[in-house]
Amino acid sequence: MLGKYWDMLPTAAKRYIVYHVIVAPLLFAWWIVPYLMLTSGLTVFEAGILYSVAQGAAAALTFLAGRLLDRYSPNVMISLVSVVEAASYVLYYFAFHARSPLLVLLGLVVERGSAIFYPAFSVYEHAAYPEEIREKAFAYHNILPFLSQAATFPLAGYLLGVAFTGVKNLTMALLLVALLDVLTAIYPLKLLPWMQPPPSEGGKKRAFQIPRGFLFITLTHTLFLFADQMRPMIVFVDLLREVFGGGLFEIGVYEAIYGLFFVVSTLPVLRIGREKGLSMVLAGLSLVSAGDAMLAFTNDIHCLFLAAALSSAGGALMSPYYMDILFSNIPDEVRGTLLGSLSAIGKLLRIVTPALAGFIALTSPQLPYLVSLLTGLAGVPTLILAAKGVRTTG
């Protein structure tokens, strides 16, 4: 029903993708929290500072989590992500009722803390997705969860942005998501095939040489992460409210458009081979840049929705091939350590970028998107060098 490549995927890959389909609707809670922060009286800069402080509290543990992933199955850590996020939503419930910035900060620390286990997702994907059709696996990984998002986010946006507004209803929604998160934590432990780390060699560390391409992809990844993190959710919500005059319902529509265009634009990935990977990444990056430009220079709500279409189409085209280039530069025997290190770079950037983006947004809500545009384009030369390294060595 889903095509020949779906039938070629192993059971672990299929069930992992289904897991993301199940949890996708719960991610609307990620938008509720920044919306409540800004509507409760915090400025975008103050909210950005809270995000930066919270990220700083969690960043130091990310590399340790990567080391653990070299030794233990990622299933447990994937489950822990849901449990820890559920705890953060309970804290937010009390924080926004008490109008306490300190409790909001505590909730952010717990929520950001769940991200130390995020490398488990990459490790599971690395093990479950067959190398010869890895980009096709990532295409399905994008198509099905984004369809789930497109089907559920507008309804969530209408319910919480139009029908049942206010702090009481929004915080009750967070409690419901917390309960559902706890239930989904069972899936990785009981229904997701267990993945084991690479076998150890008698406790001796095997010498290895990091491919030159990994150094280039690390710099590229850093620039792309910075570009992405200069437009965090708190900055987007501020942009939506201050420039486009929208709220949670418009967020739901934006995310639905994003999801639908991501799905439609991912379909070509199922027909285009990995040898075209670099061209696809560059084409996708061009569309993402066009979306950033629209958010940086326009103020019409229709342009906002068009930017969603451009950005999602670009992300769909580039994501599977970019991940393939990234994974192709990582030796299997140290995948947890290197993926954990890349994640640690992201966490370190997130210490700075929320406050920095919030500060810039005080000057102009659109300015962070211009910074994002320029930074993303700066990653093109190193991306080309990284892809060349894959072709040379792989």
Give the tens place of pLDDT for each residue, 349-390.
889 999 999 999 999 999 999 999 999 999 998 888 877 765
Report pLDDT for 358: 96
Structure token pair of residue 58: 């969690």
Q: How confident is the model at residue 393 (pLDDT cuts 50, 70, 90)?
A: very low
Q: Tell me what the mean pLDDT of segment 161-179 comes to.
A: 95
Domain boundaries, the chain: 4-193+209-393
Report pLDDT for 324: 79
Q: How confident is the model at residue 392 (pLDDT cuts 50, 70, 90)?
A: very low
108 pLDDT above the threshold of 90: yes
Higher pLDDT, 203 or 259: 259
The CB density around residue 220, as the number of other CB atoms within 10 Å, is: 26
Q: For residue range 2-58, list pLDDT tens digits in order.
A: 667 888 899 999 999 999 999 999 999 999 999 999 999 899 999 999 999 998 887
Angle formed at CA 171 by CA 169 and CA 175, multiple of 5 degrees: 110
Tell me which fold the domain 4-193+209-393 belongs to: Growth Hormone; Chain: A; (1.20.1250)
Q: Cβ(244)–Cβ(250) under 8 Å?
A: yes
pTM for the whole structure: 0.85
Report pLDDT for 19: 96
Dist. CA 306–CA 134, nearest whole Å: 30
Q: Cβ(119)–Cβ(69) under 8 Å?
A: yes
Please give the single-letter amino acid code of residue 92: Y
